[in-house]
Amino acid sequence: MIPNNTKSLLLALAIALTGFLASAAVHADTASAALTRKAQAAITPAKALEMLKQGNGRFVSGKNMARDFLAQVKQTANGQFPFAAVVSCLDSRIPLAIVFDRGIGDLFVARVAGNFVNDDILGSLEFATKLAGAKLILVMGHTECGAVKGACDAAQLGLLTATLANINPAVRAVQGDHTPRNSRNPKFVQAVAEMNVKLTMQTLRDRSVVLREMIDKGQIDLIGAMYDVSSGKVSFYE
């Protein structure tokens, strides 16, 4: 016969295990499910930022959620409800959905060498927020940026010359004793990359009346960030 205290212990363990399994199942289902219109509507700009922070935390720690991407393909076939839009560099080392541990249908992404904005990208961001409901715009640069290095060196190459010209304001805006002021100086390159994020955010506010009004009304937030290609960590500017 099993003693009463042993029975109580076994019962407690069974209940705990049942709760754990149920919690794990819910967690898995949540990770596999694409965002719905209702779920998107419940996300605030602050919550959207926190979701990006938590996702990057999972990525850096190697604890990415298990996701059924094919299921999400089917779930988003007739509609999408992303919670954030990201302006990022073209760099192949920054796969945005992986870096933020998000699934299909979670993020709008605008990518261009040097993570600047022009009217086409701004129009796309207006669509992403005003029409499609995203609650946050993240402008993210990164360390060791080739486009920034090219701008620092005044590189000339076909149409790339005009692309890099969009980063020139950041090159000129960096003050202080940075010698040499070219790609051979890692500190200068990083200072330009950080300035480029700040100026891109300002350009966004200056050139898009739609986005500026949404930001001022608290309907969306605008945040800058820097991705470290050596660690995978995103540092947010708040």
The three-state DSSP-derived secondary structure of 201-223 is HHHHHHHCHHHHHHHHCCCCEEE
What's the CATH class of domain 35-237?
alpha beta
Q: Which amino acid does the sequence have at 38?
A: K
Give the contacts of 58 (CB within 8 A, at least 6 positions apart). Answer: 64, 65, 101
Sheet strand arrangement including 221-227: 107-111, 84-88, 136-142, 221-227, 234-237
Evaluated on CA atoms 150, 153, 154, 157, the torsion sign reads negative
51 secondary structure, DSSP code: H
Give me the tens of pLDDT residue by residue for the chain, a chain 238 residues long: 555 555 555 544 444 444 443 333 333 345 679 999 999 999 999 999 999 999 999 999 999 999 999 999 999 999 999 999 999 999 999 999 999 999 999 999 999 999 999 999 999 999 999 999 999 999 999 999 999 999 999 999 999 999 999 999 999 999 988 999 999 999 999 999 999 999 999 999 999 999 999 999 999 999 999 999 999 999 999 8
